[in-house]
Structure 1
Amino acid sequence: MKGRIMMGALALAFAPAVFGATPQPWVASWGAAQQTPEPGNVLPQADMQDATLRQVVRLSVGGSRLRVRFSNAFGTQPLVIDAAHVARSADKATPRIVPGTDRTLTFDGRSAISIPPGADYLSDSVALDAPSLSSLAISFHLPQAPAGQTGHPGSRATSYYVHGDHSADPDLPGAGKVDHWYQLTGVEVAASTGAATIVAFGDSITDGHGATTNGDDRWPDILAARLQASSATRKLAVVNVGIGGNHLLTDGLGPNALARLDRDVFARPGAKVLLVLEAINDLGKLSREEMRTPQQHAQLVADLIGAYRQMIVRARGQGLKVIGCTVTPYTGSDYYHPDAASEADRVALNHWIRTSGAFDAVVDFDAVVRDPAYPARLLPAYDSGDHLHPSAAGYKAMANAIPLGLLR
C-alpha cells in the first residue's frame, strides 16, 4: 500500500510538467489542397522511384521556427520518406538553395517516416529564419514510388526531381521539371500573439488558372502581400486551398467542397477566417451537355445554397468567421457555353450571397471583374482569354477589392 501511495504521489508530482506546459502555438503559413492527380498530371512512377523531389513554396507569414506537413491522403499503401530537408530558395525558377540555410527535417527525432494511407504527417520543428513572403525549397527522398499519388496539380510553381538521395544538395543540375506539387500539403510557423490564418477556399479561380508560373500573382498571393504591407495585418497568414475543377455538390477534380473541409480548412492551425469562392463549376456543369428544365435549374440553386449553409455552420462550429464571395461571370466560355438560364442561376445565387445575411461578410468579386457594359461577361482587361478565368490583372483587382478590416 505504501508503495502505491508513493507511486501516486510521484505521478501527481510529475503531472504539471507533463500536462501543464503551454503548447507552442502554430499558424499555417502556406498550404495546398490535396487530390489524386488526374492522369495528365501524374508524375511517371519511374520518375518517383528512388527519387528526390524539391518543391518551392512561398510563405505568407514568416518566422524563426517552422515545420512541414507531408501527405499520403490518397495513397493506398504507406508512404516512406527516408530523408527530408528544408532551405531558403535562391531562385524560384531553379532548384538552387541559399547557402547555409539547409536544415534536416526529422520525424519524432528520426530521419525517416512511414506515413499511413489517408494520413498527413508533421515534421519536427526546425530553426530557420524564414521572412514573410520568402520562398522555401522543400526536398525529400522517396526510396519507393508512392502507391497512389497525392498532389496538387495547380501549383503555378516549378518542382524538380532527380534519382537518388540529393535532398541536401545545394543544387540539382539536370533535374527534371514539372509544374505540380506532390505529397506536400503545408508549412506551419511558430506563431506570435495575435497571429492567425485566412483560408481561401475555392476552385480554379482561387487556385489561379491563368496566373503566372512562379509569379505568385493569384488573388490569395496578392492578398498575402497586401496583409504584409501593413503593420495592422502583418500577423495574418493566407493559405490557398483552391482546386481547379472543384465543385460544391459533386466530386470533380478533387473531392467536393463539403468532403474536404476537415482536411483542407479545419486542420490548418490558426485558421480563423474562411473565404469561400465556389459554385462556378456546378453552375456550368448542369447544362454543359444538354438543356435542363426550369425546375432543374431552381433545384441546383437551392442545393448550392444548402451546401453553402453547411459550410457556414460547420466552419462557425470550429470558430471561424466565414466570408462569402460572389461568383464571377463566365458567359462566352467555350468550356461551359452558358445560356441565359445558367446566367440566371448565377445571378440568383449571387443575390442570395449578397442579401441573405448567412455569411459574416461578403466580398463582391462579381462586381469587381464584370464588364459594366455586359455584366454577364468578364471585363476584357480582366479576362485571361477563355472568358471563364480572370487574368493576372483580374486576380490583382480581386485581391485589392478585399477590405482588410474584414480579415482582422
Structure 2
Amino acid sequence: MKGWVLLGALALAQSAYAATPDHWIASWGAAQQIPEAGNLLPLADMQDATLRQIVHLTVGGSKLRVRFSNAFGTQALVIDDAHIARSADKASARIAPGTDRTLTFDGRPSIAIPPGAEYLSDPVSLAAPALSSLTVSIHLPQAPAGQTGHPGSRATSYYLHGDHAADADLPGAGHVDHWYQLTGVEVAAPPAAATIVAFGDSITDGHGATTNGDDRWPDILAARLQASPATHNLSVVNVGIGGNHLLTDGLGPNALARLDRDVFARPGAKAMLVLEAINDLGKLSREDVRTPEQHKQLVADLIAAYRQIILRAHGQGVRVIGCTVTPYVGSDYYHPDAASEADRIALNTWIRTSGAFDAIVDFDAAIRDPAHPERMIAAYDSGDHLHPSAAGYKVMAAAIKLEALR
C-alpha cells in the first residue's frame, strides 16, 4: 500500500511540474545566412579560437538560455567551452565582474551541432535587466566548415586564439562588426510575456544606424515597450537581413524561405512586423527598362507573397502587421524611375487598404518629404537616399502604435 501511495505522490509531483514549465520567450535574436566573402572570418582566425559576441536584450530575466546555429554548416560545429556574462562595456570585450556563467548542453560542457541544425544551451541563472547587454563567448577547437552568421550586427565581436571564454577581458583580440554561429538569447518570463518579430531587409537590420548604438527602429521600439507597464513583457527580436528579397534569394534566403527558422521557431512569437519588398522593387529595373506588364506582374507577385506570409503566420497563431515601403527615389544603388515609384505606390496602397493584415504601420508616411513624397525628408536620410538615418529610425519606431502589438 505504501508503494502505491509513494507512486501516487510521485505522479502528482510530476504532473504539477509538467503543468508549470518555464515560459520562454526570445529576448534577442538575429537571422542567419551564409556570410559574403568579405564578411567571412579567415579560417585561421577561427581555428582554436575564442569568439566573444555582444548582444542587447529587450525583455530581461533571471534565467537565460542561448541558441547557437550551424544552419549553413557542412559539418558538425564543435563548441567545447561556452560562457555568458553581463557586458561591462558594449564597445569592448570586458565582462562585468562576478557575472560569468558557464553554459552547458544536457549537462555537458561541449556540443557538436549537426549541419543545418540549431542547438539550445541548458538554462543558466543570471540576472539580466531589460535592455542590458550580454557577452556570449565560445571556444571553437576547429574552424566551422561553412560559416553561419549575421554580417549586419552593428555590434563589435572579438576573437582570440586559445580558450579564453571565461576571461574577464580579451587583450590583444581581433575585432569585427559581425555575429557568427549565434542566433538567439531566450529568457524565462511571466506567462503573459510574448515576442514580437521584426522581419525585413536592411532597413530593419539597421543599415545607417550607429555601431554599438542600439538605435535601429526595432531597438527603439523595444525601449518604448519597456517604458510602459502595459507592454514591458513584450520583447522585440530583429530578424532583418540586408539585401533581403520577398521573391528571390539576395543576401540570405528569400523571405518565404526563412519564415520557419527566423519567425515561427522563436519562442513566444505572437506578432510580426513585415517590412520587405524594397529590394524586389529596385531590382526589377536596376539594370534595364521593363515593360508595363512586367511591373504589373511584380506587384501582383509581391502581394501574393505577402498573402502567403499572412496565411502561414496565422496558421502558427502569429499576428501580422504590414509596414509600408519607404521612399527611395534618388537611391545611388537602385536609381528608381517613375515606373518603380508607381509600383511602390501601388504596393503601399494595397498594404493600407486591403484589410489583409491584422494591423498596419505607415513608415512611408512617417519619413517621406511632404513636398517630394517619392523621397525621404533629408534629416531622416542616411545619405544614400535608400536607408534612413538614426533620426529616421527613431521616427519610424514612434510611428508604431503600441496597442497594435498588445
TM range (shorter): over 0.9
**Which residue of 2 is the match for residue 95 of structure 1?**
93
Percent of residue pairs bearing the same amino acid type = 81
Q: Choose which of 267, 273, 276 in structure 2 pairs with 1:275.
A: 273
What secondary structure does 1:234 align onto?
Answer: coil
Paired residue type of 2:137: S
Paired residue type of 1:244: G
Range with bigger deviation, 171-180 or 20-29: 20-29
| Aligned equivalents of 2:148, 2:118: Cα separation in 1 | 11
Paired residue type of 1:119: A
- The yes-or-no answer on 1:254 pairing with 2:258 is no
| Aligned equivalents of 2:8, 2:256: Cα separation in 1 | 44
What secondary structure does 2:365 align onto?
Answer: helix
**Which residue of 2 is the match for residue 5 of structure 1?**
none
- The yes-or-no answer on 1:186 pairing with 2:184 is yes
Paired residue type of 2:31: A
Shift of 1:322: 0.6
Shift of 1:348: 0.2
Shift of 1:14: 6.3
**Which residue of 2 is the match for residue 197 of structure 1?**
195
Deviation track 1:54-82 (CA, whole Å, cap 9, x = no partner) reads: 00000000000000000000000000000
Deviation track 1:129-164 (CA, whole Å, cap 9, x = no partner) reads: 000000000000000000000000000000000000
Q: Choose which of 352, 356, 376 in structure 2 pairs with 1:378.
A: 376
**Which residue of 2 is the match for residue 118 of structure 1?**
116
| Aligned equivalents of 2:15, 2:312: Cα separation in 1 | 29
Shift of 1:24: 1.3
Paired residue type of 1:397: V
| Aligned equivalents of 1:329, 1:48: Cα separation in 2 | 40
What secondary structure does 1:206 align onto?
Answer: helix
**Which residue of 1 is the match for residue 263 of structure 2?**
265
**Which residue of 2 is the match for residue 152 of structure 1?**
150
Shift of 1:191: 1.2
**Which residue of 2 is the match for residue 306 of structure 1?**
304
**Which residue of 2 is the match for residue 140 of structure 1?**
138
Shift of 1:334: 1.1
Q: Choose which of 17, 26, 29 in structure 2 pairs with 1:28.
A: 26
| Aligned equivalents of 2:370, 2:160: Cα separation in 1 | 50
**Which residue of 1 is the match for residue 223 of structure 2?**
225
What secondary structure does 1:144 align onto?
Answer: coil
- The yes-or-no answer on 1:358 pairing with 2:330 is no
What value does the CA root-mean-square deviation take over the aligned residues?
1.5
| Aligned equivalents of 1:111, 1:9: Cα separation in 2 | 38
Q: Choose which of 70, 76, 80 in structure 2 pairs with 1:82.
A: 80
Shift of 1:193: 2.5
Paired residue type of 1:311: I
Aligned length: 402
**Which residue of 2 is the match for residue 400 of structure 1?**
398
**Which residue of 2 is the match for residue 70 of structure 1?**
68
Shift of 1:17: 5.4
What secondary structure does 1:242 align onto?
Answer: coil
Range with bigger deviation, 263-272 or 14-23: 14-23
- The yes-or-no answer on 1:44 pairing with 2:42 is yes
Q: TM-score, normalised by structure 2?
A: 0.97
Structure 1 residue runs without a partner (length 5+): 1-7
What secondary structure does 1:352 align onto?
Answer: helix
Shift of 1:341: 0.4
| Aligned equivalents of 1:269, 1:402: Cα separation in 2 | 23
| Aligned equivalents of 2:25, 2:15: Cα separation in 1 | 22
Moved over 4 A (4+): 8-20
Shift of 1:312: 0.3
CA separation of 1:386 and 1:117: change in aligned 2, threshold 3 A: same
Q: TM-score, normalised by structure 1?
A: 0.96
| Aligned equivalents of 1:402, 1:248: Cα separation in 2 | 22
Shift of 1:402: 0.6
